[in-house]
Amino acid sequence: MTTVIESELVRRAAAGDPAAVEALLVGVRPGLVRYCRARLGRVGGAYTTADDVAQEVCVAVLRALPRYREQGVPFAAFVYGIAAHKVADAQRSAVRDAAVTPTETPVERPDAAPGPEQQAVASDLARRLSALLDRLPDVQREIVLLRVAVGLSAEEVGDVVGMSAAAVRMAQSRALSRLRTLAGGSLDEVAA
């Protein structure tokens, strides 16, 4: 979405145009889902929590939209600011609720989801990637997630984190280099 089109769409959505609101949410939701999945990962082998948080972000954006005023930064900075807060809330909630494990009722039909081995391998890889990302400074981790997982441009990420596009590219390059060094060959291993 170009900045001029985005600005016009945001203006119309903030004014209450239902078609503009729908188009805006349809445009931002896929990136929000990727962002939340990258930040929260899988819980119990599924992205349910991350998808729920992405939906909460969409609702929060919808509620805040009438009060939104353009302040010289793209709308994405506003959206991902809300997303960062919602993700932090979900992480705090997960820590509080860690002691409570819900029981699931058995499924009475065949499950087309990946089997236990594939889930274990995927969960292990996700856990190792998350551990590596946690070793990066907060700003570098946020840049990698927004650039790689969400797919935002360097300019858009710069607006979100308050840096120039060139500084974002440099920080991303350093972060990826650090991740390669930290990972070594550990991500090439297959879980036993």
Residues 134 and 165 in one domain: yes
Look up the pTM and report it.
Answer: 0.63
Residue 63 has a pLDDT of 94
Is 107 a domain residue? Answer: no
Q: Label each residue of 121-153 as H, E or C.
A: HHHHHHHHHHHHHHCCCHHHHHHHHHHHHHCCC
How far apart are alpha carbons 178 and 130 in whole angstroms? 14
Residue 118 has a pLDDT of 79
Residues 137 and 189 in one domain: yes
Residues 4 and 79 in one domain: yes
3-state helix, strand, coil in the chain (%, to 5): 70, 0, 25
How far apart are alpha carbons 38 and 144 in whole angstroms? 10
Is 105 a domain residue? Answer: no
How far apart are alpha carbons 31 and 92 in whole angstroms? 22
Residues 88 and 10 in one domain: yes
Is 155 a domain residue? Answer: yes
Residue 192 has a pLDDT of 44
Residues 69 and 134 in one domain: no
Query: Whole domain around residue 69: which residue ranges?
Result: 1-99
Q: Which residue ranges of the chain lie beneath pLDDT 70? A: 1-5, 43-46, 97-107, 110-111, 186-192
Residue 102 has a pLDDT of 57
Residue 99 has a pLDDT of 56
Is 110 a domain residue? Answer: no
Residues 126 and 85 in one domain: no
Residues 163 and 139 in one domain: yes
Q: How many secondary structure helices (H) and strands (E) does the chain include?
A: 8, 0
Give the Cα-Cα-Cα angle 104, 107, 112 (nearest 5 degrees).
Answer: 115
How far apart are alpha carbons 153 and 131 in whole angstroms? 25
Domain harbouring 13, CATH code = 1.10.1740.10
Domain harbouring 144, CATH code = 1.10.10.10
How far apart are alpha carbons 46 and 123 in whole angstroms? 10
Residue 4 has a pLDDT of 58
Is 109 a domain residue? Answer: no
Is 179 a domain residue? Answer: yes
Number of domains in the chain: 2
Which whole-number Å values give the CA distances from 142 to 32, 88, 157, in the listed order? 13, 13, 9
Residue 191 has a pLDDT of 47
Residues 130 and 56 in one domain: no
